């Protein structure tokens, strides 16, 4: 029973020059739920996510996290707050093993000297623990280079990497885009487990079937506007498709408000 | 009745990484890795054995103590430059200036030792290495700041630094090195007893680090190499180290340069394998964008790597100058750069970033130097053929690398 949303975006707006990427978008995610973010190409999904992740700054509007107003200026500030983003292809270095990838940028070292030795044993132990706690159990060894893993395993590693750092909100950018049936299953189960552990999860996807399987609520963006946030239990795929392709806009860019209605 | 399986099936996969592996399973896993294409330095060792057999059959002087010591001296310059090249290649970049940059170091030391400066050797070297750091930083900074491909920047650098060398030495000129210490770099040999002490220290150091890793992993409940395997590895290393020291002691003794190369190998391997800097270099070579998003300061690391490359080129340049006893206007040219890059690649470092070891530099340099040395022992052998053979060896190394990578992909190892 989470009364206050963990993340709350209130009327956020983002412009790139003359292009209005987001117009007064309201969006929120509560702890323990999966919110899917859907919309056609160019609807503003990525812009919204990047704003939350600190890659862009919103021009207008307010972001509240954990009840407090925040301004997220960089990815580092986002992760300090407990926001982690899992990008589609950009998460892992193929040549490094699972442990090295999970700790990339945050390696444990034995001392604070400039050329201190990394504490491989404790990193490996923590990685194994995290993977086990997420029931990611199909790995032969955490010392294999990630290039040798299947797509589903790689995505699981990327997710595990994100949740290892006491994150509160995990944002997944099309986690199942390149996966087969069994591997999609594996990742969706993992997404569900994250929410069941009390994390807030935002999920970008084009696959409505996947979304109806894991999401609690479905937020639909169209041309930079939030068409609406639907409860999964009281909607169907048709309604969502309609919202994505023909949802009513409050204001159409370039038209006076009166002409739209 | 078979033994009851107490581990529930869904958790057995991860637990497998925590249980103690028996010698047998570890050994068969190693064989499987090799058959799957993860061959490591196996082809180089086989290649060297083959080279040794061929040249020994042509000229029985090849495997004499005198010639083996000679081989160590001969490979030293290339190996030192190649150490730096490995770092640049790991990052997915290339440094085409290493040859002439090495000559800048050599000529700086040579000139600073002579009138009108007549500086002590350590100050001359300190100035040369400061220049190397500045040159590396400059290459790295230009590459980063103007977002240029490193091969263009270092190609321009190569031309410019060759001009600097020519300017200092003068066309057709030569600067003689008279300083006994700088000359002594390549003319010094350890007495037999010191050679043995170095040998014992090295073996003890290896065994100590292996056992330390073993015990910390064991204490953390992680999978370890079987202790028998560590014993075998230590045994093989001991035989090699004892063999080399024994052979060198038959001649002039263990060369100072050889020990210097070994010390550099240990330090640089530590940086590449055990520190954050090394981890970030591999990460950038593997996936630059992933590294950037993980908070790695890609630009800073690139500049540091070019500095490492230039400093190691400087070490190589000073070694070469010391060996020749002089620096000519042509220093750093010819096949020096290409041999250094070839050494790193023959040793198994990928040209595409992210894969390779510092030790590949010394293994590759050994192959190149032994071809050079061995063909030199065959009377009347034209040097044209020498280049062709070195070229073919490089090609073979790249092909072996490519094939092994493909079969690794097939077997799911990479």
Question: Is residue A258 pLDDT above 70, yes or no?
Answer: no
Q: How confident is the model at residue B264 (pLDDT cuts 50, 70, 90)?
A: very high
Mean per-residue pLDDT for B90-106?
96
The Cα B199–Cα B197 span in angstroms is 5
In a mutational test of the A interface, the residue from B89, B222, B301 whose CB has the highest number of chain A CBs within 10 Å is: B222
Residue B12 predicted with pLDDT over 60: no
Adjacent-strand bridge partners of A22: A14
- Asked if residue A247 belongs to a domain, the reply is yes
pLDDT computed for residue A73 by the predictor: 84
- A38 — phi, psi (to 5°)? -125, 165
Q: How confident is the model at residue B242 (pLDDT cuts 50, 70, 90)?
A: very high
Query: Model confidence at A7, in pLDDT bands (50, 70, 90)?
Result: very high
> What topology does CATH give the domain B44-191+253-404?
ABC transporter involved in vitamin B12 uptake, BtuC (1.10.3470)
**Higher confidence at residue A27 or residue B29?**
A27
To the nearest whole Å, the CA of B259 is away from the closest chain A CA by: 22
* Residue A150 in domain: no
Task: Lay out the sheet containing A169-173: strands in order across.
Answer: A83-86, A169-173, A200-204, A34-38, A217-222, A225-231
Task: Answer yes or no: is A89 within a domain.
Answer: yes
Residue among A36, A30, A27 nearest A206 (CA): A36
For residues B266-290, give the mean pLDDT. 95
CB contact A19 to B (< 8 Å): no
- Is A183 part of any domain? yes
What span, in angstroms and rounded, lies between the C-alpha atoms of B217 and B221? 6
B286 touches chain A (CB under 8 A): yes
Burial class of residue A233 in the structure, from the number of CB atoms within 10 Å of its CB (0-12 exposed, 13-18 middle, 19+ buried): exposed
User: Is residue A208 in some structural domain?
Assistant: yes
Minimum CA–CA partner of A142 in chain B: B17
Q: Is the pLDDT of residue B329 over 70?
A: yes
Out of B11, B283, B413, name the one closest to residue A104 (CB). Answer: B283
Q: Do A104 and B216 touch (CB under 8 A)?
A: no
Look at residue B377 in the predicted model and tell me its pLDDT: 86
Nearest CB to B286 within list A76, A96, A131: A96
For residue B3, the 8-state DSSP code is P
Chain B contact for A147, CB < 8 A?
Answer: yes
Torsion of CA B180, B185, B188, B194, to 10 degrees: 130
Whether the CB of B295 is below 8 Å from some CB of chain A: the reply is yes
- Which pLDDT does position A164 carry in this prediction? 84
At A188 the three-state DSSP class reads: helix
Q: What is the least distance, in Å, from the CA of B396 to any CA of chain A?
A: 23
> Residue A20's beta-bridge partner residues?
A15
Under the banding of pLDDT at 50, 70 and 90, the label for residue B17 is very low
Are A100 and B279 inside 8 Å of each other by CB?
yes
The residue among A79, A88, A96 with the most chain B CBs within 10 A of its CB, best to mutate, is A96
Is B289 within 8 Å of A115 when comparing Cβ atoms? no
**Average pLDDT across chain B, whole number:** 88
Per-residue tokens: A64: 């509240």
Give the residue, B124 or A175, on which the prediction is more confident. B124
Q: Tell me if A104 and B220 make a contact (CB, 8 A cut-off).
A: no
Q: Which of B14, B266, B291, B414 to mutate to test the interface with A (most CBs of A within 10 A)?
A: B14
Whether A261 shows a pLDDT value over 50: the answer reads no
Band (pLDDT 50/70/90 cuts) for residue B1 is: very low
What is d(CA B275, CA A108) in angstroms, rounded to the nearest whole number? 10
Torsion angle of C-alpha atoms B309, B307, B302, B163, degrees rounded to 10: -80
Which pLDDT band, with edges at 50, 70 and 90, does B383 fall under? confident
Where in the sequence is the domain holding A183, given as residue range(s)?
7-93+168-260
In a domain, A12, yes or no: yes
| Contact criterion met (CB < 8 Å) for A141 and B219 | no
| Residue A116, burial from CB neighbour count under 10 angstroms (0-12, 13-18, 19+) | middle
Strand-pair partners of B287: none
A132/chain B closest Cα distance in angstroms: 7
Q: Are A137 and B14 inside 8 Å of each other by CB?
A: yes
Q: Tell which residue, A222, A228, A234, has the closest CA to residue A42.
A: A222
Tally of domains within chain A:
1
For residues B65 and B252, the answer to whether their CB atoms sit within 8 Å is: no
Chain B environment of A87 (Cβ under 8 Å): 293
Most confident of A187-196, A223-232, B251-260, B367-376: B251-260
Tokens (6 digits) for B176: 């003689």
The verdict on B283 touching A (C-beta cutoff 8 Å) is yes
Angle of CA points A172, A176, A180, to nearest 5°: 165
pLDDT attached to residue B113: 94
Lowest mean pLDDT among A134-138, A196-200, B7-11, B51-55: B7-11
Angstroms from A180 CA to nearest CA on chain B: 17
Residue B208: CA atoms inside 13 Å, Cβ hemisphere, count? 6
Alpha-carbon separation of residue A105 from A101, A165, B278, B279, B298 (angstroms): 9, 12, 12, 9, 11
Distance between B10 CA and the closest CA of chain A, angstroms: 6
Residues of B with Cβ-Cβ distance to A115 under 8 angstroms: 270-271, 275, 277
**How far apart (Å, rounded) are the C-alpha atoms in residues B379 and A17?**
75
CB within 8 Å of chain A, chain B residues 201-220? 216-217, 219-220
Closest CA to A171 of A45, A40, A20, A69: A45
Angle between helices B336-346 and B65-90 (to 10 degrees): 80
Best interface-test mutation with A: which of B272, B278, B286, B292 has the largest number of A CBs within 10 A? B286
Cβ within 8 Å of B, A 79-138: 87, 90-96, 100-101, 104-107, 109, 115-118, 121-122, 124-125, 128, 131-132, 135-138
Q: What's the pLDDT tens digit per position in B118-145? A: 999 999 999 999 999 999 999 999 999 9
Minimal C-alpha gap between B40 and chain A (Å): 15
- Residue B31: the pLDDT is 73
Quick check: is A160 in a domain? no
The answer to whether residue A36 sits within a structural domain is: yes
Residue B82 has pLDDT above 70, yes or no: yes
pLDDT above 60 for B15: no
Mean pLDDT of A65-77: 87
Q: Which residues of A touch B275 (CB under 8 A)?
A: 115-118
Contact flag B14-A100 (C-beta cutoff 8 Å): no
What is the interface size between A and B, counted as CB pairs within 8 Å?
A: 111
- Chain A positions in Cβ-Cβ contact with residue B11 (cut-off 8 Å): 132, 137
Complex-level ipTM: 0.85
CATH code for position A32: 3.40.50.300
């Amino acid at each position: 029973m989470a009364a206050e949303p963990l993340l709350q975006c209130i009327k956020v707006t983002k412009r790139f020059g003359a292009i209005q990427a987001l117009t007064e978008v309201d969006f929120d995610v509560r702890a323990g739920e999966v919110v899917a973010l859907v919309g056609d190409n160019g609807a503003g999904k990525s812009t919204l996510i990047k704003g939350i992740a600190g890659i862009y700054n919103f021009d207008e509007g307010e972001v509240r996290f954990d009840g407090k107003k925040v301004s997220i200026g960089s990815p580092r500030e986002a992760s300090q707050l407990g926001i982690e983003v899992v990008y589609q292809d950009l998460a892992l270095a193929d040549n490094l093993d699972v442990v090295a990838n999970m700790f990339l940028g945050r390696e444990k070292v034995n001392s604070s000297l400039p050329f201190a030795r990394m504490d491989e044993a404790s990193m490996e132990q923590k990685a194994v623990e995290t993977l086990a706690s997420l029931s990611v159990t199909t790995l032969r060894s955490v010392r294999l280079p990630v290039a040798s893993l299947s797509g589903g395993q790689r995505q699981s590693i990327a997710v595990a990497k994100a949740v290892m750092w006491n994150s509160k909100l995990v944002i997944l950018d099309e986690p199942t885009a390149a996966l087969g049936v069994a591997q999609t299953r594996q990742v969706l189960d993992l997404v569900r487990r994250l929410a069941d552990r009390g994390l807030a999860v935002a999920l970008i996807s084009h696959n409505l079937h996947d979304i109806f399987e894991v999401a609690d609520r479905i937020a639909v963006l169209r041309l930079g506007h939030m068409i609406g946030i639907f409860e999964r239990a009281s909607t169907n795929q048709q309604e969502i498709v309609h919202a994505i392709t023909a949802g009513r806009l409050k204001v159409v860019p370039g038209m006076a408000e009166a002409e739209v209605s | 009745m078979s033994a009851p399986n107490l581990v529930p099936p869904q958790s057995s996969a991860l637990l497998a990484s925590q249980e103690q592996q028996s010698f047998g399973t570890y050994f068969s896993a190693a064989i499987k890795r090799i058959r799957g294409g993860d061959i490591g330095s196996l082809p180089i060792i086989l290649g060297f054995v083959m080279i040794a057999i061929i040249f020994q059959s042509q000229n029985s002087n090849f495997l004499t103590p005198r010639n083996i010591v000679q081989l160590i001296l001969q490979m030293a310059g290339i190996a030192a430059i190649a150490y730096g090249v490995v770092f640049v290649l790991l990052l997915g970049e290339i440094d085409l200036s290493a040859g002439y940059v090495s000559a800048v170091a050599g000529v700086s030391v040579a000139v600073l030792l002579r009138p009108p400066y007549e500086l002590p050797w350590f100050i001359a070297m300190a100035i040369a290495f400061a220049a190397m750091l500045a040159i590396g930083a400059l290459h790295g900074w230009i590459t980063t700041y103007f977002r240029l491909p490193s091969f263009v920047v270092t190609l321009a650098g190569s031309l410019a630094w060759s001009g600097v060398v020519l300017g200092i030495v003068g066309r057709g000129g030569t600067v003689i090195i008279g300083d006994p210490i700088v000359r002594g770099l390549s003319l010094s040999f350890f007495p037999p007893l010191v050679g043995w002490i170095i040998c014992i220290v090295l073996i003890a150091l290896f065994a100590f680090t292996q056992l330390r890793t073993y015990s910390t992993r064991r204490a953390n409940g992680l999978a370890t190499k079987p202790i028998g395997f560590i014993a075998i590895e230590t045994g093989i290393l001991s035989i090699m180290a004892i063999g080399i020291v024994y052979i060198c002691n038959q001649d002039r003794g263990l060369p100072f340069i050889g020990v210097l190369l070994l010390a550099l190998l240990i330090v640089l391997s530590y940086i590449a394998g055990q520190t954050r800097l090394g981890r970030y270099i591999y990460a950038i070579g593997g996936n630059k964008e992933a590294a950037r998003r993980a908070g790695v300061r890609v630009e800073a690391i690139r500049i540091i790597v070019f500095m490492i490359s230039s400093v190691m080129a400087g070490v190589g340049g000073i070694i070469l100058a010391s060996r020749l006893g002089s620096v000519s206007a042509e220093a750093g040219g010819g096949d020096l750069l290409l041999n250094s890059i070839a050494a790193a690649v023959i040793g198994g470092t990928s040209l595409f970033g992210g894969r390779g070891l510092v030790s590949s530099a010394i293994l590759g340099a050994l192959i190149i130097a032994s071809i050079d040395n061995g063909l030199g022992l065959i009377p009347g052998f034209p040097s044209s053929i020498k280049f062709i053979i070195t070229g073919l060896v490089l090609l073979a190394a790249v092909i072996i690398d490519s094939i092994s990578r493909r079969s690794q992909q097939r077997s799911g190892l990479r």
